[in-house]
Amino acid sequence: MLNTIVDLSHYNGNNLDFAAAAESGIDAIIHKATQGLAFIDPRHAINRDAARAVGLLVGSFHFGTDEDGAAQARYFLDNAQPRPDDLLALDFEANSAGSTMTPQQARDFVTEINARTGKWPVLYSGNYLKTVVAVTPDPVLVNCPLWLAEYGPAPRLPHGWNTWSLWQWTDGAVGVRPTPVAGIGHCNRDYFVGNRLDLPGFWASMKH
């Protein structure tokens, strides 16, 4: 299990040093690219390219809203412009500052990503997903590798998944003894369920 992944957005600031992060042992970043149908993270392309330049694996995520799911998937791909070996993810959570993506919109989003890339995106979620699948596993979303948000000492899986692929265990403040990342500071940090040899293959194919 690796604790060498961070996920970021413009909220992490403008002067990140990815060379220092890489030297400290970070292997990969996942950066917010888009939200809904009208927001592009202003730091996404800058930080993605800077991280890639120092040899880090890079991924992009979309924050889902209560709008057409397939259209959001197309908006995400058009603006993130991922390479074939980049990780793709949907952030599927309750939105305290606006509209929340419905389960059907999430299904439409991940299905469109699969149709256009041949891969199921990673599904990021926590309590919201556990509510959605409280009784019955979702037959579409379960195709997606799980990126679990869980700040307790151990992950608790939602129905339908028998493992997590990524585990966001801290937001930089809450969690088990979070420490700042060199060149970045306190930020969201994530475990990968495999080892360093497994990581590039997972990143490129996003298979369980």
How do residues 126-167 score in pLDDT, each as one tens digit?
999 999 999 899 999 999 999 999 998 889 999 999 999 999
Distances (CA, A) of 4 to 19, 112, 130: 14, 30, 26
33-58 per-position pLDDT tens digit = 999 999 999 999 999 999 999 999 99
CB distance 63 to 89 below 8 Å: no
Specify the CATH number for 2-205; select among 3.20.20.80, 3.20.20.70, 3.30.70.260, 1.20.1580.10: 3.20.20.80
Predicted pLDDT of residue 168: 96
**pLDDT on residue 175:** 66
DSSP per-residue codes, 148-203: EE--SSS--PPTT-SS-SEEEEESSSSSSS--PBTTTBS-EEEEESS-TTTHHHHH
Confidence band, pLDDT 50/70/90 cuts, at residue 208: low
pLDDT tens, 173-200?
Answer: 776 667 899 999 999 999 999 999 999 9
Average pLDDT taken over every residue of the chain: 95
The runs of H, that is alpha helices, within 29-126 are 44-53, 69-80, 103-117
